[in-house]
Structure formats: C-alpha cells, structure tokens
Amino acid sequence: MSSGGVRPAALAELSFTDDGLIPAIIQDAGDGTVLMMAWMNQESLLRTLETGQTWFWSRSRQRLWRKGEESGNTQTVSDIYYDCDGDTLLIQVNQGGNGVACHTGNRSCFYRSLKDGGISHD
C-alpha cells in the first residue's frame, strides 16, 4: 500500500523538531508493555506507513534504520496514534523475536528502575 491508509490531514497536524524529528513510543499491541522509544523523521514515518514495519532515524549514525534489520526482531505496526500537541507518536506493534525489543536481550528497553530495590521490568 502506498499511503498505508493514513489520513493526509493527520500527517499535516504533526509537529517535527528543528532537526526534523518526532519521538515515537513503541508499545506492545498485546499487553501494553512500553518496549522502547526512538526517533522518526518524515521519511522513516512514511516508510513505516508504507511497509507496516517500524523504521526510525538514527541520530548517532545519521541514517534510516529498520527495527530488526540486524537482530531479526522486527516490529509489525498495529496502529499509530499522535498526541494532542502533534509532537509525539505512539505506535502499537506486534514485536517479533519472541517479543524481545531491546538489543540487550531484555523484552523492553525500560528494564531498570531508578528506585531502590526496584524490580526488573521485563
């Protein structure tokens, strides 16, 4: 699909940073676990919509990357929401690789608590 079924008016409501980026929160569509946060530019968002898999912009490597391109742990998009200010995305996905999103091998990138004795979140 070329447009990914997206509403053009909705795309126009999005607000990107001066660097052309928007943060994307990635949430498991099944149980609601927040898996990771990464940045998208307009091209990675369009690729995500077109392919149904998540694409991001790597600020450190200055290139587009497809989640799972090395690990195989791709993410299939279930739905994409945007917030009231239009400056953050929430993308619900089905996480491949037995649900593991983090390069550390943890299911979620948010596996450590700031608090004393906090339990692992995976």
φ, ψ (nearest 5 deg) of residue 45: -65, -45
Interface residue with its own copies, options 16, 23, 73, 97 (CB under 8 A): 23
104 belongs to the binding site for its own copies (CB under 8 A)? yes
In whole angstroms, the minimum distance from the beta carbon of 35 to its own copies comes to 10
Dihedral sign (CA 106, 112, 63, 76)? positive
15: left (phi over 0), alpha (psi -120 to 50) or beta: beta
- 48-77 binders of its own copies (CB under 8 A): 49
Residue (96 or 122) nearer to its own copies, CB: 122
Contact flag: residue 40 with its own copies (CB under 8 A): no
Please count the other Cβ atoms lying within 10 Å of the Cβ belonging to residue 75.
27
- CA–CA dist 71, 117 (Å, integer): 31
Residues binding its own copies (CB under 8 A): 4-7, 10-11, 23, 25, 27, 31-34, 36-37, 49, 79-85, 88-90, 102-104, 106, 109-118, 121
